[in-house]
A and B are shown apart, each in its own frame.
Chain A
């Protein structure tokens, strides 16, 4: 590691020590720092160009060093988190329901992990992955699907009767977790220039775009069935405009959005509703805007309300 990167890493390390972001997931921290650096670029430059940091370096170079240092530091905690999700949280055996070929689970895990590592070298993909990976880290799928499947209401009906998933509850959950994990694949063909694209911030894309991405990822994820890949990519589509969306995609879209800015251990003010209940309540009112399935949001809201999430 050269001296400049070392200094950059130290600087980023100090930012990460800030208690305000201590409870966030690695990618949420990264997003916070990226937005912080972007918002305070002008104020920070005089300090960063002083003798203590990067004397004489132009602004662009300094921020390039900081960004590469940021990815380096975040990857140190992101990589083990990814490995843990892929190897310990998700059991890919559910794919047996989609194809006759039975690839070894370890091979599937390796291919997914490799794909994710490749994907997460792209800044925009990292941003897009913030919500899904945080949702997996927070265990939102288990938290809500356990109740959702046992209630046998809208969510369960959509998964079992409409999407026709003939599998165990635990397999359905793994399917949804995989959908979440691969949802950021939508950002694979996008360049950094698309970072400020309003449509992407709104997190919905057109079906044609999703199809195009599918052809791109097919080869990398050939051990995963098409249905699973499409479920993941379709989680970026609006349900308002695509009423035939898989229930797994609709669930992944909602949970991913829920987790994007979620904080762990949020202090709940006296007289306020719980964080999840509040979020789902807002989500059902904004369902059309975000392209969520309103009925699905309402069921999440009911679960959060009944169980105090």
Chain B
């Protein structure tokens, strides 16, 4: 019963992992394609739900490990660190704040701006989502060639190393981009536009002139969403409130600018920057998918055919006196240690075993009979009657 429950739990977790990978892809795809508010809002909520689910799952597994006194084993050897990295930080630093920003959409703009800045710095943690790929590798156990435990372990190890390295490198570069290269980062299109707005404002000599200059500028610059004069009155607004409701959802879709000297404010569209980020994220996502696919479907068969299969055949040959199938030795790999051993197995061990069997030396000792006493259930059944 407990085993059944665990099996159901595992199935649910694996389904969630597959779904969250789709969700991760769609979230960036939605930014790239400029999807409307509603579907994007759904994606933010589902992202949050998945992160919450995986956080609970991680805590549950950690609790089980704790009760069984194998926390270290779980965290380091059973890849609990992947469960952690792909859940708690994401909930705390990415999807949690995003949902908060969404819920607070009707709250003060200042608060949203604050959240916006937090999200900008912390969104690099989203990269950790691809670590979930490492968990679905278990799913490939049943595919052809990946049925040996040795192959599975090697595949898991090599995939973990490669994907983790890729994640760490990209994570490092993202941090670098957001901190050390902050100056470069500030030179985004929206910042440049804001500087031009301030300059245009300063060039005008009367409030009417300011209004005219800013309106003209705003009409020609597509990034300008809204410009307000020092009194807070909108000089120019590209979208109606309804359009804003439909088009924008994320606080990162726009940026607030305020000039303390003149008192003018502007809201500028930052989505072009987001497009670039979405493209980068999708590229990264595709890279990981392809890497996992190449390792599972190309490298795994190669490993199985050239390492674990010959070993398995030799194991069978040594266990079963009547098993006499030779190992095929590909000419290309004949100098491999495994195939050198296989050659010895073919040319020395099997003939020797065959002679021993004929001489009646190994048959009984090695249990060479096809009939086994333990297989004959009817003997014990009838004895018990």
Interface residues on A, range: 35 or more
Interface status of B180 (Cβ within 8 A of chain A)? no
B328 A269 Cβ-Cβ under 8 A: no
B369 A36 Cβ-Cβ under 8 A: yes
Interface status of B255 (Cβ within 8 A of chain A)? no
B354 A286 Cβ-Cβ under 8 A: yes
Contact with A along B346-385 (1 / 0, CB 8 A): 1100110011001110011000011111011011101101
A277 B370 Cβ-Cβ under 8 A: no
B325 A273 Cβ-Cβ under 8 A: yes
A18 B376 Cβ-Cβ under 8 A: yes
User: Which residue from A36, A271, A274, A281 sits with its C-beta under 8 Å from B371?
Assistant: A36
A20 B309 Cβ-Cβ under 8 A: no
* CB neighbours of A36 from chain B (8 A): 369, 371
In chain B, positions 309-336 with a C-beta closer than 8 Å to chain A are 309-310, 312-313, 316, 322, 324-328
A282 B351 Cβ-Cβ under 8 A: yes
* CB neighbours of B313 from chain A (8 A): 269, 271-272
Interface status of B305 (Cβ within 8 A of chain A)? yes
User: Which residue from A47, A261, A270 sits with its C-beta under 8 Å from B305?
Assistant: A270
Interface status of A15 (Cβ within 8 A of chain B)? yes
Given contacts A15-B376, A52-B383, contact A21 B370 (CB under 8 A): yes
CB distance from B342 to the nearest CB of A (A): 9
Given contacts A271-B327, A272-B326, A272-B328, contact A39 B364 (CB under 8 A): yes
Closest to B330 in A: A271
A270 B385 Cβ-Cβ under 8 A: no
* CB neighbours of A14 from chain B (8 A): 376, 378
* CB neighbours of B359 from chain A (8 A): 198, 201-202
A268 B376 Cβ-Cβ under 8 A: no
B371 A47 Cβ-Cβ under 8 A: no
Chain A contact residues: helix, strand, loop or mixed: helix
CB distance from A17 to the nearest CB of B (A): 9
Closest to A267 in B: B325
CB distance from A229 to the nearest CB of B (A): 26
CB distance from B368 to the nearest CB of A (A): 9
B310 A271 Cβ-Cβ under 8 A: yes
Given contacts A20-B372, A52-B382, A201-B360, contact A285 B351 (CB under 8 A): yes
Interface status of A93 (Cβ within 8 A of chain B)? no
Interface status of A275 (Cβ within 8 A of chain B)? yes
A273 B326 Cβ-Cβ under 8 A: yes
B328 A20 Cβ-Cβ under 8 A: no
Task: Indicate the member of A47, A196, A261 with the most B CB atoms within 10 Å.
Answer: A261
Given contacts A202-B358, A261-B322, A272-B326, contact A39 B369 (CB under 8 A): yes
Alpha-carbon distance A289/B383, docked complex (angstroms): 46
* CB neighbours of A242 from chain B (8 A): none
CB distance from B314 to the nearest CB of A (A): 10
* CB neighbours of B371 from chain A (8 A): 15, 18, 20-21, 32-33, 36
* CB neighbours of A102 from chain B (8 A): none
CB distance from A238 to the nearest CB of B (A): 13
Closest to A35 in B: B369
User: Which residue from B316, B369, B379, B382 sits with its C-beta under 8 Å from A32?
Assistant: B369
Interface status of A163 (Cβ within 8 A of chain B)? no
* CB neighbours of B376 from chain A (8 A): 14-15, 18
B370 A272 Cβ-Cβ under 8 A: no
* CB neighbours of A277 from chain B (8 A): 326
Question: A residues bordering B, Cβ < 8 Å?
Answer: 14-15, 18, 20-21, 24, 32-33, 35-36, 39-40, 43-44, 47, 50, 52-53, 196, 198, 201-202, 261, 263, 268-275, 277-279, 281-282, 285-286, 289-290
Question: B residues bordering A, Cβ < 8 Å?
Answer: 145, 304-305, 309-310, 312-313, 316, 322, 324-328, 346-347, 350-351, 354-355, 358-360, 363-364, 369-373, 375-376, 378-380, 382-383, 385
